[in-house]
Amino acid sequence: FDGVAHLCVPVTAIIFSWALASNIALVILLSNHSAIIVVCIMERAVWKRAKWKDGPIWWFLLQLAVLSVYSATLSFSGLDQISFLVLFVSIPWLILCCTLVLIVNWSLCVRTYRSWQHSNGQFVMSSSQSLAAATSMRASSIETAGP
């Protein structure tokens, strides 16, 4: 699966929260998509039958989801029931989106962490002269290793 289909939901949620006077359609959209995300998380974590594509499209989904929750709860007054319902539905939806993005991109997160760890993984506790010698040794070993 690719994240493009999921991108339609936060974009639609932003349009609904700005254009519609009532938030009922927004609540229905987010609750239905929450159910779909739960099924997607179950498939990715438990069943593992579908092919999932990781990549930057999922991070765009996360950013748009945050923006749509912000725009949906911007006029939160807390006094009427529909505002509370929007908050009650949108926050779990955002958490589910975050979970799905992390599950799909977990290998990418691990690769990025390992790359960072490899480049920053040397820790030396010594005087500054010993540190300079260790740094020059490391630099010379990197130059000799090459690509």
pLDDT digits (tens, 9 = 90+) for 88-118: 999 999 999 999 999 998 888 888 878 887 7
Residue 88 included in any domain = yes
Q: Percentage of the chain surpassing pLDDT 70?
A: 80
- State which amino acid sits at residue 145: A
Residue 123 included in any domain = no
**Token digits of residue 31:** 């609750």
What residues make up the domain containing 36? 4-104
How many domains does the chain divide into?
Answer: 1
Q: How far is CA 14 from the centre of its chain?
A: 18
b vs e for 75-105, b when ≥16 Cβ sit within 10 Å of the residue's Cβ?
A: eeeeeeeebeebeebbeebbebbebbbebbb
pLDDT on residue 137: 59
**Token digits of residue 20:** 């519609």
Closest CA to 27 of 69, 99, 86: 86
